[in-house]
Structure 1
Amino acid sequence: MKIIDRYISKNFIKSFLLSLIAFVGIFLVSQLFKVIRYVSDGRFSADESIIYILTMIPKILIDVAPLAVLLGSLMTISSMASNLEIISLKTSGISFKRIILFPVLISLIISGVVFYINDSLYPYALRKNREIKSRDVIVREAPTEKNNAFLRGENGNYIYLMGKINRKSGFAENIEIIDLNSKFDKVERIITAKEGRYNFSKKVWMLKDANIYDGEKISKPIEKEIFTEERYNDEPDKFITQNVEPRTLTIKELKKSIREIKSVGGDTREFLVELGNRYSFPFASFIISFLGLSLGSRYVRGASAINLALSVALGYGYYIVQASFEALSINGFLNPFIGGWIPNIIFLVVGIYFVYRSEY
């Protein structure tokens, strides 16, 4: 790292941290009055109020990190521009892309930190925050019974259709099990039964008065008073998913929930949108740095006020675009992952365009 790189990096980190502290402070102060009211009303104890405020910090850090990077970038480069340092470096043959190299790399590291906070600290903090606020646990117990339950079996190409199932007793009514081929496009066997019960000790379904039909030809079914096969051992709990808020889950837990919901034929759109945002939003800090660094490259009198206005306008502009595409994804108009990355791509293209404009 050259001296000029250390100088620029030091100023950028300093400006970023000052901006981050300022934005976090503003958001915390805005919530402080509400916490004081909760304490005065007796909803929170003094200890709970402190924990409540601390559990808000991960979410605030995630939300304001792009704004802090943007303002830090504008402050750093505009300060250099006002001191004619940018012009001097360009005159000496150093390109603008080379000047901003280390701030961009630092922004990428910041995005990595935000990704970690978003995946590990934020879900835990949100669960704790909601638990304190509502005096209830976010992950509630799943319903005991479910009508019209659907499940894709884990031990082969078969699906269950249950008219009614009780996950605690293991009793089910109007059961249908459909065996399919390896490509999952042809029925090989259908098993029906008016009722059945899951044997929790042997871990297998036992169907009463079952009819077994050959899927390839129409023929009289084989009747069995009690039908059981070892592979039909999917537990009743798998037929009924828990009511969990996606934001309270880590990426690993989100993926697991998506698999479970798909296996019972549920709607996974909300979980997929949250998963897409977990991968896309943390990199906003890296992407938006291109805009801040390029827009601050020219000296303008009264730059401080302009920098603040630009950071707020561009930052909230990103959030508006991001929220718009998130709404389209939730409503099924866009793939959740594509919808999550479109705002990043738009702002990255605009940022790179302004970086090339700043060379001249």
Structure 2
Amino acid sequence: MKLVGYLLKKIIPLFVGAVLFFALVLNLVDLFMNLTTYLQNGSSWHDIGVVMLNYIPKTIWYAVPVAILFSSSYSLSNMYANNELQALFASGVSLFKFTSPVLILSILLSFGLFAFENGLVVQTYEKKMKLQNQLLQKFESDNNNNVIVISENGKIIYNAARYFEETKRLQNLYVIFRDENKNFLSLVHADLASWDFELKHWRLQNTLEYVKDENGRFTSRAFDPLLEENLTESYEIFRKNIVDVQSVSAKEAKIYIDHLRKAGLPFGEQLSEYYKKFAFPFIVFIVVFLSIGLTGKTRKNVLLISLASCISASVLFYVMHMVTMVFAKHGYISPFAGAWSPVILFTIASIILLKYSRT
């Protein structure tokens, strides 16, 4: 336990300091890139401060992988340069056994990073972008015109003249119902449709239903309110902005992907990004494993070598992840492989490095 405490006392303060440093740098870079526009638009320092405050969770999320790689790599390399590791090895303690608490810590941090992003980063970053766009006078509306949404694998088709985000309403809505073979069943028209948050379906107003008679002519009949229970396509789908899976929570991303799946639309790219939400946090485990495998490669310029190795490893992982995600987007590999293959490959590489490391 003394060895565990000794190692963590070396790594954790460096990790915390590195997180704060990298997060501060990212926040200042974002500030200076937009400062001139802020001042030209007469933005108050209070609003600018709120933007920076809401950006802090995102910068921490960016900083954690690089910070843990730097702190673990520097600490272990410094211990090797000071002959501390050699003393451990001579007493029969292997490198893997000595560093296993750090690996366990990195796994916990990986799960924590996912929960942190899903529970806080997504929400605060959205607030940051909305306020920043206001200050920069970049106005966007989620209202939408001439919306067509295909649901239930083509069995239900919505066509609305306009969607209002503030009231969650559809204006001049037509809904086509079809059977399993895509044969026409009925057409429903409503002057207005409102989303029911409790029942999770659309409520229609001033409604008429049209069906075909035996001669193939359209006739109207009384609308059956029970049909509303089939109109479960969530209001988010009708917004103007295309859902960016990277910028929403895992739950919201799954709703969007389920919509694409039900509508029979391509969803491979979105599914890859969804899997990436779970795979990417494991970069924390990967970089710690890499830093352990790289221990003992040099005794000189430990700080410089640690910085160079952490930057190189991070860039290499990011590039590989980008490449595999592009392959998944174009269907060359599965969405699961696009998100998880870099994690698997880097884990294997770390095991090989650890096997041939000096112990």
Tell me whether the two structures share a fold, i.e. TM-score over 0.5.
yes
Q: Deviations over 1:1-26 (max 9, x none)?
A: x1111101111112222322332233
- Give the conservation status (yes or no) of the 8 Å contact 2:103–2:288: yes
The alignment status of 1:68 with 2:59, answered yes or no, reads no
The alignment status of 1:327 with 2:321, answered yes or no, reads no
- Give the conservation status (yes or no) of the 8 Å contact 2:122–2:249: yes
| Cα distance in 2, alignment partners of residues 176 and 38 from structure 1 | 48
Q: Which residue of 1 aligns with 2:209?
A: 207
Q: Relative to structure 2, which stretch is displaced further, 101-110 or 51-60?
A: 51-60
The alignment status of 1:178 with 2:194, answered yes or no, reads no
| Cα distance in 1, alignment partners of residues 222 and 95 from structure 2 | 75
Q: How many residues align?
A: 338
1:226 to 184, 205, 221: 221
Q: Which residue of 1 aligns with 2:146?
A: 145
- Structure (1 or 2) with the larger CA radius of gyration: 1
User: How far 1:259 moved relative to its partner?
Assistant: 2.3
- Give the conservation status (yes or no) of the 8 Å contact 1:39–1:46: no
1:241 to 238, 241, 247: 238
| Cα distance in 1, alignment partners of residues 301 and 232 from structure 2 | 67
| Cα distance in 2, alignment partners of residues 52 and 260 from structure 1 | 33
Q: Deviations over 1:18-68 (max 9, x none)?
A: 322332233233334224323432353101111112222222222222211
- Give the conservation status (yes or no) of the 8 Å contact 1:55–1:126: yes
Identity in percent: 19
User: How far 1:206 moved relative to its partner?
Assistant: 4.1
2:156 to 154, 160, 164: 160
CA 1:247–1:189: 2 relative to 1, 3 Å: closer
User: How far 1:227 moved relative to its partner?
Assistant: 6.3
TM-score, normalising length from structure 1? Answer: 0.81
Partner amino acid for 1:93? G
User: How far 1:290 moved relative to its partner?
Assistant: 0.7
Partner amino acid for 1:334? I
Partner amino acid for 1:121? L
After superposition, the CA RMSD in angstroms is: 3.3
Q: Which residue of 1 aligns with 2:52?
A: 53
- What secondary structure does 1:150 align onto? strand
| Cα distance in 2, alignment partners of residues 330 and 188 from structure 1 | 29
| Cα distance in 1, alignment partners of residues 353 and 238 from structure 2 | 48
- Give the conservation status (yes or no) of the 8 Å contact 2:176–2:184: yes
Unaligned runs of 5+ in 1: 181-186, 214-219
- Give the conservation status (yes or no) of the 8 Å contact 1:138–1:245: no
CA 1:200–1:73: 2 relative to 1, 3 Å: closer
CA 1:32–1:146: 2 relative to 1, 3 Å: closer
| Cα distance in 2, alignment partners of residues 60 and 356 from structure 1 | 34
- What secondary structure does 2:179 align onto? strand
Unaligned runs of 5+ in 2: 164-169, 195-201
Partner amino acid for 1:132? L
- What secondary structure does 1:325 align onto? helix
CA 1:270–1:278: 2 relative to 1, 3 Å: same
- Give the conservation status (yes or no) of the 8 Å contact 1:241–1:260: no
Partner amino acid for 1:33? F
| Cα distance in 2, alignment partners of residues 353 and 170 from structure 1 | 63
Q: Which residue of 1 aligns with 2:259?
A: 260
| Cα distance in 2, alignment partners of residues 299 and 88 from structure 1 | 17
| Cα distance in 2, alignment partners of residues 330 and 43 from structure 1 | 42
TM-score, normalising length from structure 2? Answer: 0.81
| Cα distance in 2, alignment partners of residues 252 and 25 from structure 1 | 30
CA 1:283–1:188: 2 relative to 1, 3 Å: closer
- Give the conservation status (yes or no) of the 8 Å contact 1:127–1:137: no
| Cα distance in 1, alignment partners of residues 321 and 182 from structure 2 | 46
